[in-house]
Amino acid sequence: MEFSRRDLMAIRNAMSAVFLLIFSSGILVAKDRTTEELRAYAERRIANADDEQLNAFVTSLDLDADGTITDTEFKRRIEVFQQVFVTVQPVPAAGGHGLPDNWMTDFEKARVKSAETGKPVLAMFSASWCGPCKMMIANVYPTDEARQALDAFVPVYIDSEQQVDLATKNEVRAYPTFICFDTDGESIGQHVGGGGVDDFVSMLANFHDPAASDSAPAPGSADPPPAETKTLD
């Protein structure tokens, strides 16, 4: 069965909407939960999911097959959701939503340029459906203020839907997530959430002064990290 580009986009958008509904709700909780609890919640939240998919979702999260989903196991939910439910992979956005020409889209090439120039890498972890990311790419990055601030970095756009391993390795759980890497490839700062020009420039300044950095989620992030006090319905 073949899909047109319009069909792929429609399927991707529908699955993204379901994804946001599930993981921006009260299921996110820093405590162990049984596989029965997780499956019952997922069954209520995921529209048109069949038993095979629900079982695969729960089983994939329960790495040690002990019937309990620990918080560590649950942090893999984004990767597992994409593997189980997003069966039609979205078409990557060309150049990352039409990024300005000062942005790269290859992390390894960005690291090489970082080593050559002595500038740290600024990695933006995003997804094709991320609204705050699209806003920043369209309205923030092209401005003179943003371009000037980015001169001190090697900026690179990471499509987390396509580079799942890299996003998982850096524990990316919301979009956009900005991570600053030094010339040795070590993470030296992180910020979750989007914003306007002033917010972006301030974030870059904070990466130069780690003591002043703020890694707390901003209002403009998609799928913020879980609140520790929430419990299952």
Q: How far apart are CA 218 and CA 154, in angstroms?
A: 23
Question: Which residue among the candidates 61, 99, 130, 158 is catalytic per the annotation?
Answer: 130
Sign of the dihedral defined by the CA atoms of residues 6, 7, 10, 13, in that order = negative
Q: How far apart are CA 26 and CA 113, in angstroms?
A: 42
Active site includes 130? yes
- Count CB atoms within 10 A of the CB of residue 14: 13
**Quick one: DSSP state of residue 63?**
T
Q: How far apart are CA 172 and CA 179, in angstroms?
A: 9
Question: Which residue among the candidates 28, 104, 133, 204 is catalytic per the annotation?
Answer: 133
Active site includes 180? no
Active site residues: 130, 133
